[in-house]
Amino acid sequence: MTLLFSGADVQVAFKTVQGNAETEIANCSDDYVLGHPIEDLTENVYDKYAVKPLVLDLGAKVVDFVDGYVPQYMTPNPSFDQQPGVKGRIYFLHVPYTGDEYLWHYMPMPPPANPQHAGVSTTEVVFTAAGAWHNSESINKQFDGNIAFLRDGVARVEKHVTPFNAALRNVIIARLAHRIVTAKKTLETTAGLKYPLRRRDNAPETFKMPEKPKPLALKLIPSAEREFTLDEKDYQDILRICESMSLVMERSPTVFENAEEEHIRVQYLVQLNGQYQGKATGETFNNHGKTDILIRHENRNVFVAECKFWEGYEGLKKTVDQLLGYTTWRDTKTALIIFSRRQDFTSVVSEAQRAMKDHQHFKSGPKKEGETCFRYTFTHPQDKQRDIVITLMLFDMPKPVKP
């Protein structure tokens, strides 16, 4: 049994949390901090170390009991474990919660009055009512008091957690900014050496930020039928992952110089499903046909991407037609990932933009998202009131090796 909210000052725990976050940042490699945007680094550290506040799920509270021996007489500090007691019923009040378990063992300031004992696990707090003098009225009164105590204590802790998390984010940003500066200085020093560097045999090839698969945030659209749209943040994250994978292909000519469209699509599926978790199969992204990547939810397409090699002005317009053919409902977000193996990549970028604007369903754009990344709005072929978002991404692929 734990005496709730009665340990050391909760600020002691917070100092430990902040110290652990700062230590992790200090131990990051130069390649790691220079290989990711500071926003991504901040979110990664913050998500790991931010204090998760205690949140009671009072709607799910339940009572159960066991028959055993209980104290016969009420004392100021009854302890039926130290008394022979008499036969009776022991009642337990289970209150589920979410948040960091250690918060139950620290004292908010000012602390709640009359600290109470309870059993604590990672998912629930359990109070006990046991005594020969108890009846339903006294048990209900005790459990009501236990819940009131929990509400009060959790609220007091919350007043400390919220400002700490806000301050922690600022500390993380400051520490990362300083770490990036020192990493750049080290890089400049190394680059300034006039002597050739020996590459270590065990040097890592990539410096990937650890990420846990996460569910997609699909929003229900008010309509006669159940229709969903992909959250804009997830859409941008998907495009970022596709761009990162495409840049890997651009920079790895010996690996991808002979790759076909189907092989390239598999590379995207592996990367995307490594970061987004499907509810049923574990795979959010699926393949349909030979070239496209899609997300389906309740038998509807929510996201569609086409991976194609550049086949010229008319070829891109046909690819757009194919892409629009998959969009069966409004507000679908899509992507065209185009690879070119032509020498004059600059002209490919120009011709691709012209083909998009000349398409019969073009509505507006482009909004430039990157050097070779452009966002357009098209109308649906079957309903001009439905807008389709198409992000065009163009990449220069290694030329195939002739046998």
**Confidence at residue 182, expressed as pLDDT on a 0 to 100 scale:** 92
Give the contacts of 36 (CB within 8 A, at least 6 positions apart): 207, 209
Rounded distance between C-alpha atoms, residue 402 and residue 370, angstroms = 32
Low-confidence ranges of the chain (pLDDT < 70): 75-84, 197-229, 248, 250-259, 262-263, 266-267, 270-271, 273-292, 296-301, 328-331, 398-403
**Confidence at residue 273, expressed as pLDDT on a 0 to 100 scale:** 65
The helix/strand/coil state of 235 is: helix
What is the side-by-side order of every strand in the sheet holding 383-396?
285-288, 292-297, 300-309, 333-340, 383-396, 373-380, 362-370
CB neighbours of residue 106 within 10 Å: 21
pTM assigned to the model: 0.50
Per-residue pLDDT tens digits for 21-60: 999 899 888 878 887 888 888 998 999 899 999 999 999 9
Rounded distance between C-alpha atoms, residue 392 and residue 368, angstroms = 10
Per-residue pLDDT tens digits for 131-167: 888 999 999 999 999 999 999 999 999 999 999 999 9
